[in-house]
Structure 1
Amino acid sequence: MFAGSKFAAFLFDMDGTVLNSIAAAERVWTKWAERHGLDVATFLPTIHGKRAIETIGGLRLPGVDAVAEADALLKAEADDLEGIVPIPGAVPFLKSLPPERWAIVTSAPRELALLRIEAAGIPVPAMMVTAEDVTHGKPAPDCFLLAAKRLGVEARDCLVFEDAPAGIAAGEASGASVMVISATHVHPLQTRHDSIASYDEIGIAVDDTGLISLEQQRDAA
């Protein structure tokens, strides 16, 4: 698992990667989909990993203002934080990282991201890139490129942690290495990248220059 590789920084998606907010998000989006006459079972898998405005805009629903609808969804999601929990092992893993060497890079707006981070008990990162910070959301690489720049490193020297196809594609397009988190996957995701279901499977080592390497935990081998 990335044997011999060292990284300048770790870039984490949020939902499905360091915390599980699927139940809360799907409650809100189910009501929205029903109101607009969409097939809920078909629609729900498409919401993950992308900004709300791009999910709504991509539907091209007649007479629907994507900006207004995304704002309304944000308010609804901010009011529903029930059942949001950390991905197994995420809290101690994040706490083990040098604060200046990691960031959360999420398609959620900053307000919602901070609420979910607090609800899950996830450490608040020193640096975070959210929906408002980029013009083009995932699968465009802009968010990861921006996060790397703000951390003062190159994206190609980073490891991206992702769970959703849009985010994985964004990580790939940025030039970063990618680790897939499968904790919330109902069905196996076909991917060429290394995958873990829990952060308990990995640890880190930091060298004298601050570069980070992954170590597979012996009890997870």
Structure 2
Amino acid sequence: MPSFRDTAYAAFLFDMDGTLLDSSAAVERVWRRWCDRHGIDAEALIAVCHGVRGEDTVRRFATPGMDVDAEAAWLNAAELEDVDGVVPIAGIHDLIAGLAPDDWAIVTSAPRNLAEIRLAAIGLPVPAVFVTAEDVTKGKPDPQGFHLAADRLGVAIGECLVFEDSPAGVAAGNAAGAAVAIVGPRVPAEEGRYAIADYR
């Protein structure tokens, strides 16, 4: 498979969790606690929660009468307190260090306060264009976030490369019309233009 470094792109649009950093241990710890509180099948939820806004996952698994907003707030508060085991994807610091501020953006399903804490935990800066859960009305797999990032950077989405690790994120990148680089093992390589284990 070709390397993404062999093609010139107007901008790189990065997902965060699983793409810039590995937060899977923390994410799954919190979701398991939430599932235990409500008698929900944790394995079924964890199989589909990565790359999706927390509120959308809560809505999908909500029990009758559940207050989705309150539960999403509980999840966010719990995740803010748990950055144990959050680590960078290998090579990401060197890649980001070589990019100009208008060459990249983050498009994450995480709320802004949580995204900032996780980026700080691995020593990455908050980019000039930073699209978080609050910035969109439809989360991934809807492409709205990637279109918004490209617009804010002033580039055409078709000239961007999206880095994603989850089925929802890859679907969003493809639906947006961007090239997609799949990071890690969660999505079959053939669903993207590139497939990488890390950035080394």
TM-score range, shorter chain: over 0.9
Question: Match of 1:210?
Answer: none
Question: Match of 2:50?
Answer: 48
Pair 6,43 (structure 1): closer, same or farther in 2 beyond 3 Å: same
Asked whether the equivalents of residues 110 and 132 of structure 2 are also in contact (C-alpha less than 8 Å), the reply is yes
Tell me the CA shift for residue 44 of structure 1.
1.1
Structure-1 separation of matches of 2:75 and 2:6: 44
Q: Report the secondary structure of 1:24's partner residue.
A: helix
Question: Match of 1:196?
Answer: 196
Structure-1 separation of matches of 2:19 and 2:90: 10
Q: Unpaired runs of 5+ in structure 1?
A: 201-221
Aligned equivalent of 2:87, options 79, 85, 88: 85
Asked whether the equivalents of residues 40 and 61 of structure 2 are also in contact (C-alpha less than 8 Å), the reply is no
Instruction: Give percent identity, aligned residues only.
Output: 52
Structure-1 separation of matches of 2:156 and 2:52: 23
Aligned ranges 1:59-70 → 2 under 5 Å:
59-70=61-72
Asked whether the equivalents of residues 45 and 61 of structure 2 are also in contact (C-alpha less than 8 Å), the reply is no
Asked whether the equivalents of residues 105 and 129 of structure 2 are also in contact (C-alpha less than 8 Å), the reply is yes
Please list the CA deviations of residues 16-47 of structure 1 after superposition, one character each: whole Å capped at 9, or x if unmatched. 00001111111111000111111222221211
**Amino acid paired to 2:45:** F
Structure-2 separation of matches of 1:43 and 1:124: 29
**Amino acid paired to 2:36:** E
Question: Match of 1:213?
Answer: none
Q: Report the secondary structure of 1:156's partner residue.
A: helix
Which one has a bigger Cα radius of gyration?
1
Structure-1 separation of matches of 2:134 and 2:65: 24
Pair 40,4 (structure 1): closer, same or farther in 2 beyond 3 Å: closer
Q: Report the secondary structure of 1:161's partner residue.
A: strand
Q: Report the secondary structure of 2:162's partner residue.
A: strand
How many pairs align? 196
Structure-1 separation of matches of 2:41 and 2:5: 44
- Over 6 Å off, 4+ runs: none
Higher helix share: 2
Structure 1 range deviating more: 35-44 or 96-105: 35-44
Asked whether the equivalents of residues 91 and 123 of structure 1 are also in contact (C-alpha less than 8 Å), the reply is no
Tell me the CA shift for residue 179 of structure 1.
0.2
